[in-house]
Structure 1
């Protein structure tokens, strides 16, 4: 038991701007009971709210507001709103209940301004809310316990779930500090476990890196060793090459002089052969002209004949087709007519079945209605007889009780009747009160539901708008993401295009793809104006074509693509002399003034109409008119065709009179030779390079324009996204406000619904009790009137009731058996009804399907008959046309005569061509020899260049790799150095370095760093694990202590509750129970309340009346106070539901406990006021502003006794 000297007194409450207390208000409390009274709406409960607020309440709803700023005085018509509010609780600390505070008076203050800034102060010093609340918890005070019990909170305590009810007892027993400490340790353990998991993840990650790093460090060490050896050997190789370069070059220069003389002799022989071949070409050209004329006549005749022959074949093919169509149409007509007959039969059968099923459905519907009516009639009869049987059974039982009761209590009937009448009057009054309460609750519940409906309507529309805006913002974000990704990809593509452009320009500037002699000449021409003015450029540079024709045109040009175009023959001779002087190799020149054009023949013009012909080569290339002679000479009489099949067909038809090249590069020459096959795909095409440069430039321009457009779109979308997000945020705040209001109203609705259900249950209970009492009263009167009846008469009446019950039971069983039979028949009919309806539906679908099929077939028959007639008409016309298409004998003879002339002339041409072939072979051999000599000379030149290049490469290698020049390399010179052995060693070292792969030069340092880091984290992980173990031990200790304190204190409260319940109810029994069944943790076990008022059976608290429930909660309050007196306790109209007798009992009990606890009671009830030591009145002299008036009743009584007060 606690003693008064250890209890803390609340001396004063100071309010500034809190709710309706606009002015600074101080309320000083004495020991004992202080009552606060006043009319409704004057602000009495605001005093309880103020105390709860200082105790740490965070929920504005529990303070009867929508947000925390609502506790600040909001102003009136005559007053401005306050900018802040402040409440202070002043305690007497003379006994130093707060040992850490030395002062004898402790002031706990909470302050809030309209910006939402909140402060907590202890004796004027700013403190944390956590510290202030912890001080309250040490003396058993808290915002959720029994220290403050507000309006409606009694019901919430009784209705709360068991685990929520446990918190009240924990707070009363001073366990909240333990609980906070326990939760803090649990949070620390959870945080530590998360950190431990992070450490483990990091250690695993570092350990995974250590393995590869170890290998990389070993590789780095080997690399350094190999690289040092490589540097020494490469340095000595450079010294050797540098000192022996001139000797090696002089040998190759002698070979170049000898080869150059041989090349001059070969060029003379080739020129002689070229003159003879030119004479033969003149003869071939003359023969070609004659052959062209003959071929024109042959083609003219052949084309006519072939056309007639083709038309004849076409006519015969069409005749065959129409005959097949007529036969097929006849067969389809027969099949369609047969199917129509089948459909008609199927339709008739289905219609008949449908009619029968429909008739049966109608019969079943009639039978079903009759059976249902019969079953309902039987149900009513069974119900009547069962009710009569129950009444007779009750009557029988009543008779037996009457006999026993008459024998035992006949003399007490008058007393029982009087007691029953008194109880009827009490219950009638209670029923009237419960009905009034129900009506009031229904009105309030209707108002709450109306407000909820309005708010939900607003919330629903707001939620839809919120979701739409949220979706819009999300779509905008996705669009921005897509555009950013597109921008990223486009920038990557632009960079790739620029790289390609640089590569193609570099290829063009370096003349890649040309043979060495041409490349060297073109390079010189760029820098040497004397050479450059004598040439126009390579042939590939002055022509272009569409991409699809590039391969064909390059093939048509052949080796001429490497030729160099000059203005005149003199320019060509100058360049040849220059090449000779500079040993520049051999280049073929095309002088514009000397080249003779080769016009396209008439045959090739006609061949353009043939299948597969794409165009003349001269027309498919683009070039300046200045070069017409060159292009016409090289591409004249050349046809471009799509593929080799069409090319061979055209060549055969026109007797190989012109050259044909396909898009794939296959060639059919005038000699009949065919060249083709697979070629290596090569990006170094001479014609394609310029096109690729232009395409890259165009693509870069387009891509840059597109990127700028993307940037504008991203900026626009970003603005729209931000606007959408701002709208979403505004709607979210609006929706959350409405949701908060709905949540408050929902909670109020739940409470009201519960209270209404309780009121309705009370009304039902009272009505049932009244009916029962009235019935008992009537029975007592009957018993009194008929007390003269003998026991034999009662027994006879009982026998009659038994016989009547037997007859009724027999009839009832008969009705039940008949009902079962009819119900089974009804069920069978319903099953048949459902099956028939399904069949009818299926038959309807079948009729619709086959009717549609029949209509389609009729339509097809009409169309086929029409097609058949049209085909027969066309067939008759074609058979007549067939006879007109046959060739005459004269037409065949004319063609043969021309063919004989062509054969003779072609033979003569072939003989000349054979001579040309022989000369060409001789020329080829000479050119091959010339090429080999040129190549040999070039190789010698290349070797000289290679010596210089290799020496330069070695120099650059030494400079770039080791930052060494020749003088620097001398420091590594070996006296006994073998260059061949060094080359082998260098190759082996490079191979070893290559086998090492990519070497991380920092691997050794990284490995050491990671290893140290891993060891440090392992130590930290072990320290963290030890800390977790220590925290777990502390948690186990706190849990054990909490369980011990709770169990001991709860047992004492439970014993006190049994006593206070009996004293407040004047009897009965009650107890508190801990429910351990459905929880694993005993600290979470809920508290059940079991109460049995006098004269009632043990039942659930939910079945108690409102007054009984309130009195039970008050009994728990006094049980807690008896076990652990609180410094003070604020009660806000908790006795409102009690009748006057119970209020008297409550007030007396309150006065008794006031010796240990300071009570502040907000009340309207006079018995409670009568027990007050001090009385405060709350008034609103000024509308909306509360004022305090105080009276000490003891002083008033003493003055009244002395006669000094009127």
Structure 2
């Protein structure tokens, strides 16, 4: 297998598609720094499966995508493909040529391909396992990684040897199998947990199945009795239906007779009605004639009235029109007057505008004069400000120099003081030395050796004794402190779950309760857990289950106390708290004391009787725990529940809870510190007691240590003094003469130093006089400049005042000009308005004249109308007189017909009354029939319901129902039996109807899980065998490869260094596969030394020797070295090339990125990387003839 081609597009600096074809032999890649040579190495590593972006010299994954330059835009993806010849089937695939491609987009999405087929990155990594071409191997060495091989830890160096030994795949397989083992262990644990749960459930389900059988027997008896009762109902229904059907037949006959009588009466009534209708028609004719005559008269009368109204309207309208004519003539006169007034206003405004124009010209001239004067003033002001600036600068300079001279004077004064003090000190020293000289001559030797030595020895013995005692005490104290720390840690562990379970306000609560008790000493404010004196260890978990909701509740005296606490909650920032007022508890009715007689050893008793507490909280615990019965085991719990279910809550010691409502719960019996608050509280109390005892012990021991330390220190100090005295007595004799000589020398030295100090003092005094003179001159100059600056400031102020006045006058003038201009504009606007008004006036006048003409025409029209109306009124009066003569004859005929109608209608009423009586009789019969029909429907419905009920509920026909008629003597007895059976069912409690099925299912499930468990455990054993086999193969391969690499490393090392010795040593651990590898290098003519002490060139050669040895042991298809020869000189580079050109490595493909000329010369193919455009790498290739 060999490398054919590498194609790069959009990867780092390769913005354009670039292809690199590779031949056998050495290929060198050259180019200046920063042109993108190392990006080729990164491309190789990335395409072979590298995921760590840091090892590709980036911060984030998108850093490897071409980011563009001033011309080219950034690309949205990067792509690298690698083509390999696989004719020798080195890679475990069928293809002769293998193409690996990786692609990444800016979104972070990646694509991987093997021969154009999409795959996972894992597939690429697995493909190159044991070929020496995986992401971090000896075959691809990036820039600067040569030194890392030597600087790496021995354990980190091992991965190179694993790759050379081709065991990375075995390690990968081992990792997979270990993962599988872990999964199998998890599965086994799950199965164990499930089977234990199922077994617990089977016990309960078995008991429930028994209950179900007895329930079914009761239900069968109830069914038979219910069918007997249904038969009784059915029989009653049948007899009633036959009676009702007989009655209905009789009612039908009566009903038919009544119908015939009603029909006869109706015939008579209809004939009479026809006669009446004819008479009514005749009457209507005469009525209509009479009405028509009256109507005509009314129409004519209304027409007449209308004409009269019209006449009145026309007269009124004529009067109004005459009025309007008068008003229009007046308006025309007013318009003429307005037009004359407007023309006079126009003349006035024109005269005023001429005078305003002259005024503006005068004001503009005045404004120009003032502005010229203001400009001259501003020039003077700017000049004076410049002078002021210069003066201020000079003033600052003088101030600074003055300060400098003052500081130097102060320093001189300080130095003078120091010199004087030194002189006084020297004089005093001289006096002392003279006195010492006289004293040393007087002192004689005094010997007190023997007494001091005896005392010194006794003190030493005492010190040793005290040291032993102190050591023992300190060991004891350390032990106790260590125990305290362990106890504190244990306390923290116990407190942690309390905090996580929502008890973070525990400290606040304690403080609050203590403060509350101080405020109200008569009240109670304690947690319920604190009120329990003792819970026997046997019942701790049970009490935890029973008092789960109330353990951390606050017990208070009464409801008012509870309200006080609620008000204080927000002030103390406490969370929600549950409170139990004792006065409310007193009102709750508790169960009587003779509740249940304990007839069984396995019944422990009621929960409130099993714990210890104060007598005054008896009612509280009776309410909370009085209805909870504690039993030994599940079986007893189930037995007791059969008798007392619905009365008591039953809890077994192994965690089964049967609630009053019949629901069942199971709790684990293990002491869970996260839930068992009482146990935690108890243990914390015990720990606190032990800690206080230990602290008392420590304080006692500390006091003893303090006392012994004081004795020890006093003895030590005494011995020190004795030792000093003994040494001084010995030295005094010898040092006396030396001290005298030293004193005489120092006296002479101090005399000389006094002379030097007096000379120095004189020099400083002269310097001080010169500086004080200069200071005086500077002060004079400063005063003159400050006076000059004051005068200029006054001038500037005066100019500012004048400028202010000028500005105000300019403002006033400009205001006046603006005002006049505004007036002119207003006048112009007035003229426009007046002109508009004149036009409007003329328009109004014309309109009024037109209106006058119209009104006169309307008056003429109305006069004509009035004449026509008067004519019509006369005609209508004539017609009314004619109609009044025809009306009386028609009225007489109508009255005669009315009398006949009255007689006939009375006869009709009589016939109708007879008919109504017949109908009432008919309705009575009909109603009785309807009632009987309703009863028939009701009984029929009951009959159908019975039929449907027995068919649906019992799946029986009515014929079979008769089989149940002799089951009971009477309905009463049947109902009593049903009630008794139903009471028995109620006593059974909640019935699980799926118990039998669930029991069988769970049993089957338990068996299948057991089978699964056995299968999985067998699989686990086989996996463990596989791991041991993998380890065996890996160890053998690793040993073999290590020995090969060891020999090759020594040979190559000797060739590179022309002698010396290179050794590899395994740091044997328990497991050879996890052992580190040490490198020992002995250079020719030198001793064996640590590799860290080698020079950079020596390190590089050693690392190269190791890489080549690894490659020789397991040759990879190609090798890529990025600047491994950087640290080498020409001779060493030549040695490296000779080895690379050697017989062993001649047939391999070598790719070297280099700057060395010797390496370039040795290359068969040369690739040059340049950057013609900034940020884009370009390739140039050369192939050399052999």
TM-score, with structure 1 as normaliser: 0.38
Q: Which structure has the larger Rg?
A: 2
